[in-house]
Every structure is written in C-alpha cells, then in structure tokens.
Structure 1
Amino acid sequence: MRNEINDYQNVTKNTIGLLMISISISLLLILLVGWLTVGGHMSAYIIFNGIALITFISFFMMLLVSLYTYFRICYNKSVSVLILKWTKHSLKWIYPFLKMVGKLIKRDKNDVRKAFTLLNNKLTMSECKSYHGKDILLVTPHCLQKAHCSIKVTNSIALCQECGMCNVGDLKYLQQTYGVQCDVVTGGTLARKRIKEKKPKLIIAIACERDLVSGLMDVKGIPVYAIINERPEGPCYNTIVQKKEVEDIIKYFLRGEKK
C-alpha cells in the first residue's frame, strides 16, 4: 500500500489527462469521418453518426462513471454495488484505449498501467469483503527468488529454506502464519493453471506493471489485488517485494475492514 501512496499524485494526473485526451480524440474522429461521409450520402451520414453517437455516449458514460467511482473511493465515500460492478466491467474496455492514447502522446506505459492497477485495487478494497486464509491465493513470479538459488520453489514454496537472501521466505512465513495459499510461478500459463486448480476467492498478485495488467485483464470472476514489485537489478531479475505491504493487505482482507 505504500507504493500506492507514493505514486498517487502522479498516477491521478496521468489518469485524468488520458481520459480527457481520449474524449477529445473521440469527438474529433466523429466530426472528421462525418465530414468525409456527408458529401452526397446523407443516409450513410445519418446512419454512421447515429452509430458513432451511441458508441461515444456509451464510452463517455463509462469514463464518467469510472472517474466518479475513482474519486468517491479516494475520498472514502460510499459507492453502490451496482456502480462498483459497472466500473469494474468498464475498466477492461477503457484500458486498451487509454494505452493506445498514452502511446500516441508518448506517455510512459507504466504510468498508464499504474493508474489501472491503482483503481483496480481501490475497487477491490472498497468491496470490503472478509475472506478465510485458505480462500486467498498469493501469486508471485519466480524472479522474486535469487537467480543463483538452486532450489526450485516453483514446484512448491515449502521447499524454500528461508535463508533470508530473497523475499520467498517472507511469503512462506505469511503462508504459514495466515493460512493463505501461495505459489511462485514461471509465467502466466502456470499462474492460470494454479488459479484453476486452487479456486481462490481472492488473488493477491505480485509482479511488474505489465504482467499485473495482463493478469487483471485475463482473470474473470475473481477479485485481484495487485502489488507492483521493485526491480533494483532490472526487470525479471532478483526482484523485491516489501513483506509489510503484503502482510498488511492480507490482514485487511482477513478482517474485511474499511480504511
């Protein structure tokens, strides 16, 4: 959760900026194509603009509802279950468009990804559900393990010797202390397999921004809380996660308390 606090201001500005640019581009496209179509083809012009208008209004409503929900949650205001569900569904439609716009304006891809994970986390936390430890699955990529370690914890985290050289031992400790499930995976395919096998009711995923967004887009019907890892030695190599951050969020969902 400390990562979220540190990134909050930048992510908020980037999110709002991208949403406003998305709206502007949508309007310009409607006007441009309408102008190209109108010459001598009034019926086509009317049909096209009718479809475009309905599409734009639907998308614009998703943006407005998402912004409304985002700020309500940020200021600890209550949000109805219906709006929460709408926002969760609309996010997966909005993100690819925001990604495209971010690329056009040369915005750092990770800023857009952080915005997506931040809003997802706030939506997940705002539902304020309480879970049993056995219903929570911690998932992390194998790059959390030191590259020189000879033990394959992807087979089972129980094999970890807890030498203290990496955070895998911390996750093993959290698994034993809180009764959560925990898996170290080699990639998305194995992660999906473990999720299917273990059928968790909540997933706490640790990874880089790119992999987290990919997982959030891929997982259906299960709430996911995303924790961005630290990469002092570069991507996919000897990554780090703060034990306290993971432990705090486990406690949050075990109690189901509001913050």
Structure 2
Amino acid sequence: MKALEKKLTDKIKQDKSVEILSVSSWCFPIQTIEFKYKPVKRFTMDILMKMVLLSCQQAEIAEPKELSDLLLVEELFIRDLLQNLQKTGLVEKEEYYQLTERGKKQLENGIFEEAQEEEIQELLYSSNHKAFLVGDIEQLDDFDEFPEAFAYASEEPIAIENEVIIQALQENRPVSEDEESSENTVQTFITSIESIETVQINDIPCMQFILYNKEKDLLYVRVWNTLTGFWDESLEKLLTEKELLNWREKYLDRIGNL
C-alpha cells in the first residue's frame, strides 16, 4: 500500500492548486456470486422446419408418414424432427400434431430456440455500489496486510433487477470455440436464472485522499479502488454525503491557512 500511496500522491500533486489534507486506507466487501442458468441457442429456421410447422398448423397430420409423403422427405428424418419439436415445446400431439403457443410465436419470428446444458458463472457484486464490479480478485494476494473495514461497509444480499443481472451475465459469458466458429445465424442467449448463491466475500483495499482545491475553495475526496484500478466515484459520493461537514470542521483551520 505504501508504493500505491506514493504513486497516487505524486499523481495528485501534479495539480499545484490541490492540497492533500489527509490520506487513509480501508476495505469494502465484495461478494463473489455464483449464477446457474441454462442458455438457449437461437437459430434462423431452415425451410424444412418452417414447412413442418406450417403443415402442422394448417393440416390434420396424425402420423409422420403423412407429413413425409406431403413434403417428399424421408420418414425417419421427419419423425426425428417432430420429436425434437415436441421436446422443445413447439409442437404437441393429441389426435393430430399441432403448434403450441410457443411454436406459433417462433414460427412467426422465424427463429428456433434450443435449450443448452446448464452453465455456471461468477460475478463480483458490491452492495455499497449496488452493482457488479470488474476486476481480478486474485490480485489481492499481493497485499501482505489489509487495512481496517470501511466505516459504511455493506454486505446486504444482491439487490439488482433480473434484467440487469442477465445482461451482466451475457456480457461476461465465455464464448466457446463452437460458437466462435459458427455462422452469425446461431446465437446463444441467457433468458432466465435458475439459482443465485454467494460463495465468497473478499475485502477490497481502497486509498482515500481528502483534498482541498485552493483556487476553487473546494473540499472533496478521491478514492482509489484497487479492484478496478480506477478512482471510484460511487464511494466518493457516499463519503461526501456522510462526511463533508465533519471534514470542514476538522480541517477548517488548516484550510484557512492555505
């Protein structure tokens, strides 16, 4: 932390109008959260699949052979395709094959969805930020000692809308070699989450600088987040809301003498 403090101090002092009033360090908690989900692959429907779905929608098809004769396609192939459409919930059969509501919607859009095997992905969540943070948690091993806990540290459970979680998972989901080599007509999407579990909580060291700009008569704080490697505006805003009046009282005489 000493080396980091020197590096940041030198950076701040490049602005001659800024005075460093105080330097301190503390840790806020980051939760490693494990998400389980089954993504779906979306394909542009080929002509045969569209013809099978249209036939089931418009005609009374009781057996695969009837559809095979109608479309002039081998019966075994039609049978396998119908089984797949039933398995994926696009077609159902009582007396005749007919489209489900899902089948009608996918036919209308020309897109076929196929469920994939379960996947597991971990994201780093900060309750203080109410957001996911991006960084290498393993780099924390480089710290020999950790400072004290942040005065306003929060370990509340994740509180983010489902759509935001899915978007974060989608953006950070590793792409397999098969997906990279496939055509643009095939895409994999996360549409729902099966389970959410906090598996670990780590302390993230931060460096806090209370600063005074003489030209602007401005007292403010900068916080360096070692996980992200950037100044952290969220933590700075939180500290300003909680501590600005106290800082003014504490450093009033010193500010007056600058």
**What TM-score bracket applies, with the shorter chain setting the length?**
under 0.3
TM-score by length of 1: 0.20
Between 1 and 2, higher relative CO (CA 8 Å, sep ≥ 6) is seen in 2
Return the TM-score normalized by structure 2: 0.20
Higher Cα Rg, which structure = 2
Between Structure 1 and Structure 2, the one with more strand by share is 2
